[in-house]
Amino acid sequence: MAKLTYRDAGVDIEKGGAVLSRFTALVKKTRRPEVIGDLGGFAGLCALPMGHRDPVLVSGTDGVGTKLKVAFALGKHDTVGIDLVAMCANDVSTTGADPLFFHDYFATGALDVAVAEAVIGGIAEGCRRAGCALLGGETAELPGMYAPNEYDLAGFAVGVIDREKLVDGRGVKVGDVVIGVGASGLHSNGYALARKALLEVGGYRLDQHVDDLGATLGEALLEPTHIYARAVSKAMRSGQIRAIAHVTGGGLGGNIPRVLPEGVGVALDLRRWQRPVLFDLIQRAGDIEEAELRRTFNLGLGMVVIASAQGADTVLRAFRESGFGAAIVGEVVPSEAEAAARVSFRER
């Protein structure tokens, strides 16, 4: 009888080594001057950038969620890594910090080298867009933990900012303007509801071309999350930003109050931005009430920036010059309501 090996149990160490060797070139493309050493050690090393007088480190962690189910169904794995970086880097950017480095965790039941390379390639591309180094990560083969041909992703980003420049919302006041920055689609939130409405209730197929979307449904659902880090860095130079909210699960009403001080709320004018047709398609397919739609999805705004009225034009220009749609979509108003009710909507 042959001796039992780790490979017999479902873990192929040699395959893991082959994956690591393929990652090296991808990682090098994200390198920053502050990175110390090369990939392959037990820990990643990164110095603080020069020029900070009182540096504060800022961290954020997240995953991609059930958007991965769409990637599995379509066999398309090269964009979800961008989503992973985006969800973390955008959170870090809400403080005004520049993302410095990123670590990922990729876990699967049986390692497919081609799939892993596509996923990590997306992560590297996300890091490039965010301006941060892919400093390291973990690729885990866990037999029995996942369904065949499926995997999970998680990661975290660390950024840096001078304490005196930290954006924390305490300076928000009545009369400030609310700037909405366009999203690329659902980003990485609300996919459980979207999939239920479109695929189960509405009867759509992922490979079905939808004229209103100008693409197949699968292509629209896999559109990568926008990464706003470089644009935020540019907008920060105005010195007029009071608060930044990353619009994730919970929608506009659930995320904007997280950066507001007591005594104020925001009034949003739904007529000031165009809601992407994908959200209307989801609403119709699932017969979803408007309130439920608003508390689940970003409705076309992936980030909200609160700025002084006099600094609004500079902030708008920074995002637009970085390739993002941006518009003034509301204003800061007095409010003594509970957090959940401090965002009001002016109807279309």
Q: What per-residue confidence (pLDDT) applies to 38?
A: 76
CATH number of residue 222's parent domain = 3.90.650.10
Same domain membership, residue 151 and residue 259: no
- Name the H helices within 131-276: 191-195, 217-221, 229-236, 251-255
- Residue that is last in its domain, among 102, 135, 165: 165
| 171 is a domain residue | no
| 63 is a domain residue | yes
Same domain membership, residue 151 and residue 231: no
Same domain membership, residue 51 and residue 126: yes
Same domain membership, residue 58 and residue 188: no
Amino acid of residue 17: G
- Residue that is last in its domain, among 117, 136, 165: 165
- The 10s digit of each residue's pLDDT in 40-96 is 778 888 888 988 899 999 999 999 999 999 999 999 999 999 999 999 999 999 999
| 6 is a domain residue | no
Q: What is the mean pLDDT of residues 197-217?
A: 97
CATH number of residue 64's parent domain = 3.30.1330.10
Q: What is the mean pLDDT of residues 223-237?
A: 97
Same domain membership, residue 318 and residue 212: yes
Least confident of 18-27, 240-249, 271-280: 18-27
Q: pLDDT confidence of 16, banded at 50, 70, 90?
A: low
More confident residue, 175 or 26: 175
Angle of helix 229-236 relative to helix 80-93, nearest 10 degrees, comes to 20
Q: How far apart are the first and last CA of the chain?
A: 74
> Which value, to the nearest 10 degrees, does the dihedral of the CA atoms of residues 199, 200, 202, 205 take?
30
Residue 237: how many other CB atoms lie within 10 Å: 11
- Name the H helices within the chain: 13-28, 67-74, 80-93, 113-130, 191-195, 217-221, 229-236, 251-255, 277-286, 290-294, 312-321
Host H or E run for residue 154: strand 151-162
| 271 is a domain residue | yes
* Domain of 150, in residue numbers: 13-165
Same domain membership, residue 48 and residue 126: yes
Same domain membership, residue 241 and residue 127: no
What number of residues does the chain have? 348
More confident residue, 139 or 219: 219
Number of domains in the chain: 2
What's the mean per-residue pLDDT of the chain? 93
| 1 is a domain residue | no
Same domain membership, residue 233 and residue 160: no
